[in-house]
Each structure stands twice: as structure tokens, then as C-alpha cells.
């Protein structure tokens, strides 16, 4: 074997050896998150707002139809005092009816609306979630605050409603920045309206009102 042949043989053998070694190692990754304390969020009445039976005859043909308001209490209970926020997800996203939030109260806009589901391509209606602008935290009255995607924290006014794209938290007895609390109780008013009867499907059988929103805790 000449020198060139010996060199080529050495390269081929070296590649084979490296190929055999490449499968001899495997990585194990262990991850997680150490958190100083945990919190639970709950809603009174198991989070259920039951509007009962709405008669088709009571629906307005060319106007939205308001249903009764309902009040729930959101409670957040933590193992230790800490700053938290709540995010909202509309599980019926895409079914909120444009114009209903503003119809409910002129201060509300479509971005405040949560959907009530669809029947085929027909949207059934919308609801808004209105927090009392103060809450109770550890026995004290505190300010309810919110933060949009491009805004800082602001205090809720009596005319503000929650939005699916917002974060919601609580400051102290003054100020507009989240502070540590252990137990928070927040009153929420649910305001609902149904779509115009002309924009609903033919009501020849029961149409379920099917709104669903998820409250998710965020640790700050």
C-alpha cells in the first residue's frame, strides 16, 4: 500500500470510529421552578351565572336584549403575602357581538366583551365583567388596578370593565402598583346581553347560552 493509500485508509477508519462514538452519550435535563409560596383562585357559586330560560318572544328583533346582572366574588388565597395578578382568557373567543359592550354601558367597548358562543355562524351575545373599583385584601380596602399590553398600571374607575387582553391586580390603600397581599376578595358584576333576534338562527329548538372565561393567576 503506498503512502496515499495509507493516508486515505486512516481517514476512513477515523470517520468510522467517530461515528461509533456519537451514540455513546445522552443528556438528561431536570427542570422546574422553586416558588416561595402558592395561591388559589376561586369564584363564588362555582363561577356559574345561570340566566335561566329566556323566551324567544322576549327577544327584540332589531335591538340587543339585556339580561339580569349577576354578582360573583373572586377570592385569592395565598400561603404567604405576595404580589399577584389575574389574567383572563375568553374560551368563546370570536363569538362576542360587536356593539354589545357599548350597548350595555356607553363606557365599554368591544375589547371588553366576552362571547356567549355560536349556533352555526350566528353569535348569540356578549357579556362584560365589571370589578368593583376597590377590593378587600387582608381586611383592608385596597385599589383594583389593571394593565394593558402597552400601558402601565392604572386604577379602575367605576365605569371600567375587565378585558381579555389585560392583567388585573391590587395595590395598597393608595397608589397604582401591585403590592403583596395574602387574601384578596374582589366583587365582580357580570352584565349580559343577547344578540338581535334578526341576527340569531331560527329558534325552533333550545339554544344554549355558553359563555366561558378562565381566570389565571400570575405571580409578579
16 three-state secondary structure: helix
CATH for 63-219 is 2.60.40
Prediction pTM value: 0.82
Domain ranges within the chain, ordered by starting residue? 63-219
Task: Report how far apart, in Å, the C-alpha atoms of 37 and of each of 33, 77, 83, 101, 176 are.
Answer: 11, 11, 11, 37, 23
Q: What is the pLDDT along the chain (220 residues), one digit of tens a residue?
A: 544 444 334 344 444 444 555 567 777 768 777 766 789 999 999 999 999 999 999 999 999 999 999 999 999 999 999 999 999 999 999 999 999 999 999 999 999 999 999 999 999 999 999 999 899 999 999 999 999 888 899 999 878 899 888 899 999 988 899 999 999 999 999 999 999 999 998 888 888 998 999 999 999 9
In this structure, the number of other CB atoms found within 10 A of the CB of residue 90 comes to 20
Amino acid at each position: 500500500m503506498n503512502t496515499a493509500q495509507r493516508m486515505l485508509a486512516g481517514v476512513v477508519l477515523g470517520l468510522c470510529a467517530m461515528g461509533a462514538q456519537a451514540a455513546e452519550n445522552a443528556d438528561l435535563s431536570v427542570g422546574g421552578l422553586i416558588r416561595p409560596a402558592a395561591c388559589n383562585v376561586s369564584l363564588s357559586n362555582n363561577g356559574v351565572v345561570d340566566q335561566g330560560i329566556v323566551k324567544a318572544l322576549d327577544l327584540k328583533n332589531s335591538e340587543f336584549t339585556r339580561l339580569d346582572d349577576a354578582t360573583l366574588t373572586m377570592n385569592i388565597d395565598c400561603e404567604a403575602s405576595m404580589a399577584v395578578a389575574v389574567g383572563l382568557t375568553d374560551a368563546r373567543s370570536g363569538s362576542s357581538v360587536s356593539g354589545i359592550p357599548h350597548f350595555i354601558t356607553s363606557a365599554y367597548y368591544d375589547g371588553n366583551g366576552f362571547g356567549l358562543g355560536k349556533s352555526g355562524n350566528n353569535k348569540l351575545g356578549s357579556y362584560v365583567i365589571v370589578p368593583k373599583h376597590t377590593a378587600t385584601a387582608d381586611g383592608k380596602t385596597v385599589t383594583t388596578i389593571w394593565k394593558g399590553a402597552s400601558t402601565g398600571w392604572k386604577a379602575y374607575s367605576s365605569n371600567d370593565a375587565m378585558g381579555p387582553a389585560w392583567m388585573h391586580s391590587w395595590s395598597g390603600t393608595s397608589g397604582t402598583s401591585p403590592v403583596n397581599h395574602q387574601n384578596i376578595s374582589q366583587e365582580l358584576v357580570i352584565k349580559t346581553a343577547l344578540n338581535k333576534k334578526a341576527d340569531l338562527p331560527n329558534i325552533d329548538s333550545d339554544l344554549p347560552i355558553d359563555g366561558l372565561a378562565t381566570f389565571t393567576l400570575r405571580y409578579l
